[in-house]
Chain A
Amino acid sequence: GDSVTQMEGPVTLSEEAFLTINCTYTATGYPSLFWYVQYPGEGLQLLLKATKADDKGSNKGFEATYRKETTSFHLEKGSVQVSDSAVYFCALSVKYALNFGKGTSLLVTP
């Protein structure tokens, strides 16, 4: 079945460090791919998405490229801030429902 695998956390980085969170997927159809973020005490928010191969989603300095050949959708940011501390979820959708990875907790220290 459809599934998402993302790197285990927690990830701890210093402010201004480069961030990569790996995400790979398995899908029978042609999925849309998403990164959701959950800040402490809040619900999940869409961070970015890509709906077809080679699309790049971007938002708030974060980027991810839909790589069909490697079935990946890695999240990157060039310079993280303390305010980026949150849990990040990679997800896919073929029809309606979202299939999520386990989430990666990110802590950015000053």
Chain B
Amino acid sequence: EAGVTQFPSHSVIEKGQTVTLRCDPISGHDNLYWYRRVMGKEIKFLLHFVKESKQDESGMPNNRFLAERTGGTYSTLKVQPAELEDSGVYFCASNARYQAGATTGEQFFGPGTRLTVL
């Protein structure tokens, strides 16, 4: 079974440019998450999709970030325009939907996209 994949693995852009990150979750996983780790800081939650719907986007830092999951399969995270502080590693994770009241399930992570904004 293929794991979570992310593209690109690295991206170097200049301030003001646009970058789009892609995540392909494990097939059949309804839940898809985006996280970000800025250098020296914690891995921070950005948002959560259930199929194509945004369940929780409380972690999105500002309106320069736009996440989509059309069709409920892969997801994209666009940063426009990119700023220096957006540099970091962006992780995507997925897991299967579980019944209400069940325990929290394991999240399966991709290898991350390292974004450098110059």
Contact = CB atoms under 8 A, between A and B. Distances in A.
Interface in A80-109: 89, 91, 93, 95-103
Could you say which interface size class chain A belongs to?
A: 20 to 34
B6 to A, nearest CB: 8
Interface size class, chain B? 20 to 34
A43 B107 contact: no
A45 interface: yes
B106 to A, nearest CB: 5
Given A98-B45, A102-B41, A32 B103 contact: yes
Nearest to A51: B103
A97 B48 contact: yes
B87 interface: no
B104 A43 contact: no
A27 interface: no
Contacts of A100: 35, 42-44
B74 interface: no
Contact of B4 (A43, A95, A98): A43
Interface of A: 4, 32, 34, 36, 41-46, 49, 51, 89, 91, 93, 95-103
